[in-house]
Structure 1
């Protein structure tokens, strides 16, 4: 396809010089982590390509000078990098991920749904109204910690709130490792306040429920309408789905920006370490309990119960930790059991086929 530099041009709109053209790949988010997985001698035949959109019929991939579609597969998601095979796209090689967001999909089969890959910063978006929910934000933060992605909490609609500081203080109680910013998504604030994370070659994602302003923030970074937006319902501050698929946009400065649909349900799986990092205060206390198998209820010598009684640990925070840890254990165990059954079934099929061949 014809090479298109338009969305990578600086604000002046001039054609980029040769050195700028050479950096187009890095503007898609290409980093040394990925280049170390390649053989420079084969990049001409199988150049790097990034998944920028996910559809039921295929994956849109973009590289230096091409924009194509490869068959959809269950093991790829938006943000992934492939070594693109022009002759047989289905045989394109998926590179190892730097990070991965996933959740347990709805249904009874405990299937894992991939959300996004190779994200550097996750902006967890909530709003200063009835939608504000500590427990929901904690789920996103646990995902980010598990994926080794930098989480930042963004509180929108601060200009419409009488006391935005109270929301900021509540959000800051989630983790001392997470920056919390209150802003007006309809102003010029996002460009200035998010500049530290939105640098050339970086990939950022906006996560949160519908109506909190994710698409508005995307548009603010581009200073134009890139993502569709809609007003929230006045009675309960709930939003309408305007983003219906995960799609990656690229600023003229070379920042990859991912807008995601609002998720009504975010079931955690395989995020034990992320939960431990999120609730580091609780896990550190649990490590000092008298018994290794302490359930932190009525056992003697329980440091967690003692901290609650002393007013040093919020009972509501402890309850949220219990809920997330139990959910993760259940979903992770279910997935392990299903994988074991699949492996056993596959072995049985291979044995049957082998015996038939002997007849």
Structure 2
């Protein structure tokens, strides 16, 4: 199947160019992984797109573990040579995402603690984060909530939008540049689908997204930006918490044992020791909110989709070589 894509269309960056050898430039081919297909318990196939072709590779024992978004060098017969070092990695999910839109509703679902955790995850993956606060049209305190988010990081880009209004989304245009790979993270109801649909429906000259490969995991938006949308990214709701995170709330865990009821949710029940400590100014209210986020996130089936164990997303930071991407500005 012939391809009409250029490397820039596929998301090629200067960071990857620096990793090429003379043989790569003269004799080999560059391709990006579009999707992974598990055809059996033992056979994993990668679908790839190059400037000339779509093709598949079957995973072999001597190949490294690769993800959607990775760049691969193959020879003239499409035989695997090596995988290029990734600029960003969401472990076991996707690679080489340039910018992540962290979506959060300004309504009743506004959750500063969840935004903080998404920021940590995105920074560990070595990707850039932009917080997109949605439903600004139905929120009376949007300015105050935006200020709260901006205080998390002095250089953090924060935008407030109505995901259904094309004019409101113009603030995102500078972030949707040709060849840049973006992804969306956010809880159910945060406006991810609405934002993408509005961007598509208001495109100029009747342009529609172009799927890269058969799965639709990678799509080129009318702006030229590439949307990376895997099942893993959609389901990443951080529903689990690891032992190191919950251990930082040991004092609150001890205190809640003093509550009158063993199933106390610390939300106005009589005899709640945690609420009493907050009222007495011996316990910080924000720390309690962060603790309850960790404790209760996986219990709210209407708001949270179950995800893979969180330890997959809290491994050590990636190797120093990935820092080279910050010196590869176009």
Secondary structure of the equivalent of 1:30? coil
Aligned to 2:274: none
1:255 aligns with 2:255: no
1:79 is aligned to 2:69: yes
Map 1:178-217; keep pairs closer than 5 Å: 178-189=156-167, 191-217=169-195
Tell me how many residue pairs correspond in the alignment: 252
Separation of aligned partners in 2, 1:268 and 1:116: 21
2:42 matched to 1:56?
no
Distance 1:153 1:214 in 2: 12
Q: Which residue of 1 aligns with 2:52?
A: 65
- Matching of residue 98 in structure 1 with residue 78 in structure 2: no
How far apart, CA to CA, are the structure 1 residues paired with 2:90 and 2:158? 21
TM-score by length of 1: 0.58
- The residue number in structure 2 matching 1:282 is none
Aligned partners of 2:46 and 2:59 also within 8 Å: yes
How big is the shift at 1:296? 11
How do 1:8-23 residues align onto structure 2 when only pairs under 5 Å count? none
- 1:176 and 2:157 aligned: no
- Output the aligned Cα RMSD: 4.0
2:24 aligned with 1:42, yes or no?
A: yes
Q: Deviations over 1:74-111 (max 9, x none)?
A: 8222211111346354x342110111123xxxxxxxxx
Q: Say whether residues 1:149 and 2:127 are aligned partners.
A: yes
Contact kept? 2:209, 2:220, Cα under 8 Å: no
**What whole-Å deviation, never above 9, does each CA across 1:228-254 have from its counterpart, x for those lacking one?**
xxxxxxxxxxxxxxxxx9822113443
Contact 2:163 2:169 in 1 (8 A): no
After TM superposition, give the deviation of residue 318 of structure 1 in Å: 8.7
Aligned to 2:122, the other structure's residue is in SS state helix
- 1:240-251, aligned counterparts within 5 Å? 247-251=217-221
User: Partner of 2:65: helix, strand, or coil?
Assistant: coil
Unaligned stretches of 5+ in structure 1? Answer: 6-23, 103-113, 228-244, 276-294, 298-307, 325-329, 337-359
Deviations 1:180-230 (A, max 9, x none): 211011121465211222222222211112332222222333337769xxx
Partner-residue secondary structure (3-state), 2:175: coil
Q: Which residue of 2 aligns with 1:278?
A: none
Residue ranges of structure 2 left out of the alignment (5+ in a row): 40-44, 252-277, 295-309, 317-330
User: C-alpha displacement at 1:2, in angstroms?
Assistant: 2.0
- Quick one: structure 1 residues 56 and 152, their matched pair in 2 at CA, closer, same or farther if it must change by over 3 Å? same
**TM-score, normalised with respect to structure 2:** 0.62
C-alpha contact (below 8 Å) 2:24/2:73 kept by paired residues: no
Contact 1:52/1:249, CA 8 A, preserved across alignment = no
Q: Report the secondary structure of 1:70's partner residue.
A: strand
Instruction: Output the CA distance in 1 between the equivalents of 2:57 and 2:227.
Output: 21
Helix, strand or coil at the partner of 1:194: helix
SS at match of 2:187: coil
**Cα separation, 1, equivalents of 2:285 and 2:226:** 40
CA deviation after TM superposition for structure 1 residue 148, in Å? 3.0
Matches within 5 A, 1:85-164: 85=75, 87=77, 89=79, 91-102=80-91, 114-164=92-142
- Secondary structure, counterpart of 1:192 in structure 2: helix
Q: Which residue of 1 aligns with 2:10?
A: 28
Please report how far the alpha carbon of residue 118 of structure 1 lies from its aligned counterpart in structure 2 after TM superposition.
Answer: 1.3
Change (3 A) 1:210 1:66: farther
Quick check: 1:126–1:155 contact (8 Å CA) kept in 2? yes
